[in-house]
Homo-oligomer: A and B are copies of this chain.
Amino acid sequence: MAAKSNGPIGEHSGRVLAGPTNPMVTPLLTDLYQFTMAYAYWKAGKHNERAVFDLYFRKNPFGGEYTIFAGLEECIRFIANFKLSEDEIDFVRESLSPSCEDGFYDYLRGVDCSGVEVYAITEGSVVFPKVPLLRVEGPVAVVQLLETPFLNLINYASLVSTNAARHRFVAGESKMLLEFGLRRAQGPDGGIGASKYCYMGGFHATSNVAAGKLFGIPLRGTHSHAFVSSFMSPDEIIDKSLRSSDSQSTCEDFVSLAQTWLSKIQWSNSLNGTFGETNQSELAAFTSYALAFPDNFLALVDTYDVMRSGIPNYCAVALALNDLGYKAAGIRLDSGDLAYLSCEARKIFHTIEKEFGVPGFGKTNITASNDLNEETLDALNKQGHEVDSFGIGTYVVTCYAQAALGCVFKLVEINNQPRIKLSEDVTKVSIPCKKRSYRLYGKEGYPLVDIMTGENEPPPKVGERILCRHPFNESKRAYVVPQRVEELMKCFWSGSPGGIREDLPPLKDIRDRCITQLRKMRPDHMRRLNPTPYKVSVSAKLYEFIHFLWLNEAPVGELQ
């Protein structure tokens, strides 16, 4: 990625950045206390003090040992367009105390993000607890206003792309993953966000048309149970003709052709009487759907009974299409024992391939849906199945197994003074100072450890031994001789003219980065059961400073 020089505010790498995807993301999409604090800073004359905040999370989600970082582009688009309208300023005025001075609203009127710098890890990267995803610097009052929208834009995005990556990992790389969650998502853009970030995390397509349009994600979809039950019988199909695939001939009665195939299947020797009467409204629906989409006939086969009705009806219509040169696209199973049903369906497809000499019929695509999640995918794998594609909805989009990621935004420096947030819970103590962070790679090419250093410390060097310390646990430390050193944060937003900014890559590239990074992780960090934690550390110098500051700030107790 080429780093380009800055244009004026609102531009990024030479192009004007559009605002966030959701027009509801405005400077008011923040907590009231960001405005009360902004007023208090302003009143105290502190609003322009230069502050540095780190955005990070404390624990990987879903019981795993890795997280995918997502949401950065939306944050940059937000700050590139950050400006309060008069209407918004009026509303802030109404919401604060009447005693607040007018000068503050004049100040707000002039606020933009030209004084802000954002250093961040590249979107789509594999990331770990405590290491800053973003370092945001700027006037303290302005940067505070960004806290809530940044957290909102990153928390769910990172959570759902991690969830998608985990589902992909369990399903296996050869399987196709379809995101079907819009109807169960947490609101409209919960759905749109899920579609975007599931794709980023490795899904292949979505059912969500709006997300397809917004982000260019491939779309998938066939028909529902309602479509099947809206038909009564094949008699109601009026236009029964279908042109062959090569347009050379026309079958005048495709309905009869399908019915003929159905009886052939019913009387087939190799299937030896597996099938009796099938549901006629289902046959009508399938035939009708095939007449509408002869080149993309995919049927939902469980409205009445998969094995006794859905499968034979599908095969009859697919074989009729085959007569006209069309290749049917497959079936979808949405209930029942998916392992058993997919294996039984596969057997029948193979038998039909052989019996009727239809090459490739045995490989008919089988899509499975119905409340799938990591556990059910794992169970299907253990049991053995013949599913090619998984349609996953509720569990992936709502992150049902863990519905929130706990990213936080902590002050680490103000006016060049390092700051620390203490807590009785040591995992909640923040790591002070403006920092840099590096990923150190070992001999086998795997990442070994992430290390944070003070901003002005010399970077770790390839081939040179460096001490990596646990930030809070004295006894945990290790020497590392890195074979490769990667600096993690790059500048994605620098308000000052002439500054350097990284490009915002297209979604497809972010997705590729994510998939590539996941493949390069050491397998024991990735496994579902008892994964090995990836090590996150600080330099010896930063370690000493943290503990100096800690003792300095904490009051001394008195036992009574």
Pair A207/B32 contact, Cβ less than 8 Å: yes
Contact status of A24 and B398, CB under 8 A, knowing A30-B209, A209-B92, A555-B276 = no
Interface flag for A81 (CB, 8 Å) = no
Q: Which of B100, B291, B409 contacts A44 (CB 8 A)?
A: B291
Contacts of A399 in B (CB 8 A): 186, 403
A189 to B153, CA, bound (A): 10
Interface flag for A375 (CB, 8 Å) = no
Contact status of A24 and B23, CB under 8 A, knowing A189-B187, A308-B555, A414-B230 = yes
**Residue of chain B at shortest CB distance from A308:** B555
**Scoring A residues 12 to 46 as 1 if CB is less than 8 Å from chain B, else 0, what string do you get?**
00000000111111101111111111011101111
Contact status of A183 and B151, CB under 8 A, knowing A23-B23, A226-B53 = yes
Q: Which of B91, B182, B210, B226 contacts A144 (CB 8 A)?
A: B226
Interface flag for A487 (CB, 8 Å) = no
Contacts of A155 in B (CB 8 A): 183-185
| A23, A153, A223 pick with most chain B CB within 10 angstroms | A223
Q: Which 3 A-B pairs have the closest CB atoms?
A: A32-B221, A33-B221, A151-B183
Q: Which of B29, B185, B220, B555 contacts A277 (CB 8 A)?
A: B555
A51 to B229, CA, bound (A): 11
A419 to B232, CA, bound (A): 9
**Residue of chain B at shortest CB distance from A92:** B209
Could you say which interface size class chain A belongs to? Answer: 35 or more
A179-235 residues with Cβ-Cβ distance < 8 A to B are: 180, 182-193, 207-210, 212-213, 219-227, 229-230, 232
Q: Which of B152, B182, B558 contacts A185 (CB 8 A)?
A: B152
Q: Which of B185, B295, B335 contacts A424 (CB 8 A)?
A: B335
Q: Which of B97, B221, B239, B398 contacts A295 (CB 8 A)?
A: B97
Contacts of A148 in B (CB 8 A): 182-183
Q: Which of B23, B28, B186, B304 contacts A156 (CB 8 A)?
A: B186
| A238, A403, A405 pick with most chain B CB within 10 angstroms | A403
30 contacts between A and B (CB under 8 A): A21-B24, A22-B22, A22-B188, A31-B183, A32-B209, A32-B212, A33-B221, A35-B209, A36-B221, A40-B227, A40-B291, A40-B292, A44-B237, A44-B239, A44-B288, A95-B219, A97-B295, A144-B226, A147-B183, A151-B184, A156-B186, A156-B187, A184-B406, A186-B399, A187-B189, A188-B189, A230-B414, A278-B555, A303-B421, A304-B422
Interface flag for A289 (CB, 8 Å) = yes
Min C-beta distance of A284 to chain B, whole Å: 9
**Residue of chain B at shortest CB distance from A186:** B186
A184 to B454, CA, bound (A): 29
Min C-beta distance of A167 to chain B, whole Å: 15
**Residue of chain B at shortest CB distance from A99:** B295
Contact status of A394 and B404, CB under 8 A, knowing A45-B239, A209-B30, A230-B51 = yes
**Residue of chain B at shortest CB distance from A277:** B555
Interface flag for A554 (CB, 8 Å) = yes
Interface flag for A410 (CB, 8 Å) = yes
Min C-beta distance of A523 to chain B, whole Å: 29
Pair A336/B424 contact, Cβ less than 8 Å: yes
Interface flag for A423 (CB, 8 Å) = yes
Contacts of A20 in B (CB 8 A): 188
A227-285 residues with Cβ-Cβ distance < 8 A to B are: 227, 229-230, 232, 236-239, 276-279
